[in-house]
């Protein structure tokens, strides 16, 4: 694997890029870049085939203008309608045969990955081995499926931009690698919630080990914009941003922000309930919530979620072990929401 790698996170408002270098055990972020995209070119994590050439050309020119010489890329995948994740128990398979065998097993038992289309690309996080009541070997598995056309269109963008694909991963897993996580005793769970422009990603984890991933629409940053715009009766982006992030005594704005916070609460609650249904034997409760993404900047959101879930809620920052200058974007209250964290974590997955 190359010493320097680009992590690329395709988002609704643009492409986030992190150039990461690893020397021995030290991960250094050399730079973080954001390339704006016209609205609609990436929709809920999807790129339409007819837009591939345009996005690739813009990406190629952007990297050239920034004199980025690194060509190896790890790309993130986070299409809300085409990524399927389920914690389940599968038959035991040898590691070298796992993906092929799981493809056949999924054909026989589609309930292992509910809603997944036929022919999805499979990956998995295996937590351990167990036995069923009849003594047969089983695997406790977080099963992941991605529609192949999602990966293929992103791959075409990368290649047409003159880059080399070194791998891909769930964008959620990139976030989990890069964000500073609370230290907890074994067996205690936390929730990492990324509020993107169109998609909310909720990751239940134990010390960075993912136990469940839920991608949901209807509570992203664009939904916050719509609620606030309706409240203030202005479609000026600057006024909307000010209303979301600047303290105000206006009861209309306060209600709008509370209405949006309820949308986020519902998305998070659904993710937690889904996990509890899948793992009724766990008994572990969420001990804290970490927020990332542009939506995390809403001034009332952390406190509202903290009051609702009765657990600490923090704004995510990059892990202290990651070196580099000017790593983080800061909010008005001085806290970072680590805007390119997913891209950083994607590159880290290739180099460490």
Q: Calculate the dihedral angle through the C-alpha atoms of 268, 273, 279, 281, rounding to the nearest 10 degrees.
A: 120
Residues 157 and 53 both lie in one domain: yes
The pLDDT assigned to 237 comes to 77
> What's the CA gap between 345 and 327, in Å, rounded?
13
Q: Which residue has the tokens 């230290």?
A: 183
Q: Are residues 22 and 120 in the same domain?
A: no
Show Cβ contacts of residue 313 under 8 Å, excluding neighbours closer than 6 positions.
288, 289, 290, 291, 302, 303, 305, 306
**Mean pLDDT throughout 342-349?**
91
Examine the domain organization and report whether 254 and 113 are in the same domain: no
pLDDT at 291: 92
Identify whether 281 is part of a domain: yes
Q: Are 102 and 90 in contact (CB under 8 A)?
A: yes
In angstroms, the CA 173 to CA 171 distance is: 5
pLDDT confidence of residue 327:
62
Residue 287 sits in the same domain as residue 191:
yes
User: Is 241 domain-assigned?
Assistant: yes
Cα separations in angstroms, 74 against 2, 164, 247: 11, 9, 39
- Residues 131-141, mean pLDDT to the nearest whole number: 90
Q: Report how far residue 324's alpha carbon sits from residue 318's, in angstroms, rounded to the nearest whole number.
A: 11
Backbone angles phi, psi at 198, to 5 degrees: -120, -20
In whole angstroms, give the CA distance from residue 231 to residue 227: 6
Q: Are residues 174 and 248 in the same domain?
A: no
Average pLDDT of the residues in 123-145: 89
296 contact partners, CB below 8 Å, separation of at least 6:
193, 195, 302, 315, 316, 337
Residues 6+ apart with CB under 8 A from 131: 137, 138
**Do residue 239 and residue 346 come from a single domain?**
no
Residues 48 and 67 in one domain: yes
Question: What are the start-end ranges of the H helices in the chain?
Answer: 52-65, 98-108, 148-160, 171-178, 221-232, 237-245, 251-278, 301-309, 341-351
Q: Are residues 34 and 112 in the same domain?
A: no
Q: Give the global pTM.
A: 0.88
pLDDT confidence bin for 144, thresholds 50/70/90: very high
Does 334 reside within a domain? Answer: no
Instruction: Report the pLDDT averaged over residues 268-289.
Output: 82
Three-state secondary structure of 282-302: CCCCEEEEEEECHHHHCCCHH
Asked if the structure places residue 4 within a domain, the reply is yes
Q: For a pLDDT cut of 70, what percent of the chain falls above it?
A: 93
The answer to whether residue 213 sits within a structural domain is: yes
Residue 305: CA atoms inside 13 Å, Cβ hemisphere, count?
A: 29
Amino acid 332: pLDDT: 44
Q: Is residue 335 part of a domain?
A: no
Q: What pLDDT, on a 0 to 100 scale, did the predictor assign at position 115?
A: 87
CATH of the domain at 285: 3.30.420.40
pLDDT, residue 281, reads 66
Query: Domain for residue 8, yes or no?
Result: yes
Separation CA 203–CA 40 (nearest Å): 26
> How sure is the predictor about 334, in pLDDT bands with cuts at 50, 70 and 90?
very low
One domain for residues 11 and 76: yes
Number of domains in the chain: 3
Residues 259, 135, single domain; the answer is no
The single residue listed with the structure tokens 């509370």 is: 258
Q: Which two tokens stand for residue 274?
A: 């889904």
pLDDT-derived band at 336 (thresholds 50, 70, 90) equals: low
Q: Which residues pair with 141 in a beta bridge?
A: 88, 126
Q: What is the mean pLDDT of residues 256-263?
A: 88
pLDDT confidence tier of residue 125, bands split at 50, 70 and 90: confident
- Does residue 277 share a domain with residue 309? yes
Check whether 323 has a pLDDT greater than 90: no
Find the range with the poorest average confidence among 167-181, 192-206, 229-243, 282-296.
229-243
Whether residue 106 is predicted with pLDDT greater than 70 in this model: the reply is yes
- Which domain covers residue 205, as residue numbers? 183-315
**Domain shared by 128 and 238, yes or no:** no
Half-sphere exposure (Cβ direction) of 95: Cα atoms closer than 13 Å: 5
**CA 102/CA 93 separation, integer angstroms:** 8
Name the pLDDT band for 350 (thresholds 50, 70, 90).
low
What's the rounded mean pLDDT across residues 259-279? 87
**Which letter does DSSP use for residue 220 in this model?**
S
């Amino acid at each position: 694997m190359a010493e320097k790698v680009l992590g690329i996170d395709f988002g609704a408002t643009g492409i986030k890029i992190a150039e990461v270098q690893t020397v021995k055990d030290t991960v250094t972020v050399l730079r973080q870049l954001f390339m704006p995209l016209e609205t609609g070119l990436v929709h809920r994590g999807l790129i339409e085939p007819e837009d591939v050439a345009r996005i690739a050309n813009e990406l190629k020119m952007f990297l050239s203008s920034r004199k980025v010489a690194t060509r190896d890329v790890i790309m993130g995948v986070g299409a809300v309608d085409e990524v399927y994740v389920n914690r389940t128990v599968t038959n035991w398979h040898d590691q070298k045969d796992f993906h092929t065998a799981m493809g056949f097993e999924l054909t026989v038992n589609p309930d292992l990955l509910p809603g997944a289309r036929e022919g999805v690309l499979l990956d998995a996080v295996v937590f351990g081995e167990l036995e069923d009541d009849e003594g047969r070997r089983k695997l406790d598995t977080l099963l992941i499926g991605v529609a192949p056309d999602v990966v293929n269109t992103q791959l075409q963008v990368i290649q047409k931009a003159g880059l080399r694909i070194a791998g891909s991963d769930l964008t959620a897993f990139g976030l989990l690698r890069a964000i500073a996580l609370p230290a907890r005793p074994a067996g205690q769970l936390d929730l990492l919630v990324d509020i993107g422009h169109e998609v909310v990603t909720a990751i239940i984890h134990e010390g960075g080990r993912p136990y469940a991933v839920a991608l949901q629409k209807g509570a992203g940053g664009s939904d916050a914009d719509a609620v606030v715009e309706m409240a203030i009766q202005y479609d000026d982006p600057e006024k909307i941003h000010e209303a979301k992030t600047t303290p105000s005594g206006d009861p209309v704005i306060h209600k709008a922000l509370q209405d949006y916070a309820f949308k986020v609460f519902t998305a998070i609650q659904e993710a937690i309930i889904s996990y509890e249904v899948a793992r009724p034997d766990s008994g572990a409760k969420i001990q804290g919530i970490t927020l990332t993404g542009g939506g995390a900047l809403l001034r009332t959101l952390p406190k509202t979620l903290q009051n609702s879930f009765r657990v600490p809620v923090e704004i995510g920052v990059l892990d202290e072990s990651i070196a580099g200058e000017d790593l983080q974007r800061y909010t008005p209250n001085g806290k970072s929401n680590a805007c390119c964290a997913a891209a950083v974590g994607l590159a880290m997955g290739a180099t460490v």
